[in-house]
A = this chain, B = another copy of it.
Amino acid sequence: MEQEGLCDDALELENLVSQMKELMVEHVNYSRKPDALVLDYKSPEELKKIMDLELGYEGVGVVGLMPIIQNILKYSVNTWHPGFLGKLYASTNPIGIISEMLISLLNGNAHVYHVSPAMTMIENTVSHNLATLLGMGEESGGITCPGGSFSNQLAMITARTCMFPEIKTKGYHAFGKKLVVFTSVAGHYSVEKTAMTLGLGIDSVIKVPCDDQGRMRTDELERLIKKSIQQGEIPFFINATAGTTGSFDPLNEIGKIAKRYNLWFHIDGSWGGSLVFSDKHRHMIDGASLADTFVLNPHKMLGTPLQCSFLLARDKKIFLQSNSLKAEYLFRHEDDLGDGTVGCGRRPDAIKLFIGWKIYGIQGYQMRIEHAFKMTKYLTLIVKNNQRFKLVLDEPPSLQVCFWYLPIGIDFNLENKKFKKMMSMITKEMYRRIMHHGKFLLDYSPIILGEKELPCFFRIALNAPSICEKHLEGLVSEIEKMGEDILEWFEEYGDENNDEMRNGVNGN
């Protein structure tokens, strides 16, 4: 490397990036070793003692950098590890890391065109391409937001202003009537947080029941809309979910209902929207083209680095029209994207999908998705064929497999309240044990399906391309191993009324 003539910053950068590269390569490589841990779990109290968290007057200087980084890596989750199966995202990939290096090199800010010409063009291009893939038409486009929740928030802000512009200036208290929002019982909580934020109140969110597959019931949706109107409320916004913990709402039917009652049709496709890249599975989001607004987070299913969330609209102009305050001191150009948001400075997250799409193409993303479906099918199969496990849905429609572990001698009976309580406790304890063992990081969740509130189950999300059959076999073994003495644990610690419950459980 020719170093002559390098300015100080460039020299320092060269030196540090070289060192960091070593750590990065080591971290990724470690994750694939058979004895690697996904997490060396420590409690906050333990970390407080063992991590060097002191911040003082004097700095340690650049020579102290790598030990600090190593320390952080040591006590963090290794998302590259194939045992990282609990969240709807996994690691990113080398392309993703390079994209983030680019963004930090630029210190990119996509709020106004004159400091981000290339980034602005890229954001407009990617948004339009995504929305077009979804069938949202020629005038479609969008913007990125810092995560799916903020995309959902901006969708509802925009909808409210488009439909009731006087609220933007005069406020909601002057409006006098109650605006009402619909989402399914399995929808993401950001709809409620947005209702809270917007001053609608959490009570304004009407939770539509799901069928026994976890999909919003459209008969119930329509009944609840009518009921709300009869009560003198103003329904204005439907949030359909394309990819909850397990399911996809019937978008076409919901879209028709939205049109019939003149409501804003928003689809939260944070998780499932990326299926638009798969010829085979795109049908699962049929009806996307009916949406007024659609959220898609490539950071979940496509391995783009966190965050990368697109809020798309059939009419890309609505964001500027609804949300601009015409602050001329900053925004002067129709391509000043920040003006269409409620923020100011913005990371140019669209770059990350742009680069990934360029490199992998739709084809590459499609292969990634197909692999994930294949792994989902495989895990479903081995869980189904193991009598210690019970699937929540016999045919998981998406890339999540949800199931319970059943200790020997326990019958599965969702009619029995004590059994349900026991299942939740066992799932949580096993989750804790598995996490502390460090080979896998899963998640657990309860859910309401149809009329039933299901006890906590394991939730496995399968989207990392590094996962293969042997990891899933290992997962099942790990759960079995951690469950070997779980009934003994439950009898001793699980509940004060152990005997009664055990008898009750077995008696049913």
Contacts and interface: CB of A to CB of B under 8 A. Distances in A.
A98 interface: yes
B17 A97 contact: yes
A445 B64 CA distance: 42
Contact of A118 (B51, B80, B167): B51
A507 interface: no
B196 A197 contact: no
A163 interface: no
A426 interface: no
A28 B5 CA distance: 12
Given A153-B342, A327-B189, A362-B56, A171 B201 contact: yes
Interface in A335-352: 335, 342-347, 351
A29 B5 contact: yes
B147 A343 contact: yes
A106 B121 contact: no
Q: Chain A: interface secondary structure?
A: helix
Interface string A148-187: 1110010001001100000111111111111100000000
A77 interface: yes
A360 B64 CA distance: 10
A446 B445 CA distance: 53
Interface in A116-168: 116-122, 125-126, 129, 146-150, 153, 157, 160-161, 167-168
B168 A171 contact: no
A60 B362 CA distance: 11
Q: How many copies does the complex hold?
A: 2
Interface stretch (A68-76, A283-291, A476-484): A68-76
A200 interface: yes
Interface residues of A, number: 160
Contacts of A99: 104
Contacts of A47: 117-118, 121
Given A199-B167, A359-B65, A445 B77 contact: no
Interface stretch (A87-95, A206-214, A216-224, A255-263): A87-95
B364 A59 contact: yes
Contact of A98 (B25, B65, B167, B199): B65
A74 B117 CA distance: 10
Contact of A106 (B76, B107, B204): B76
A347 B145 CA distance: 12
Contact of A363 (B57, B245, B306): B57
A92 B76 contact: no
Interface stretch (A8-16, A313-321, A412-420): A8-16
Contact of A146 (B98, B129, B146): B146
B204 A16 contact: no
Nearest to A30: B10
A21 interface: yes
Contacts of A266: none
B343 A190 contact: yes
Interface string A465-477: 0100000000000
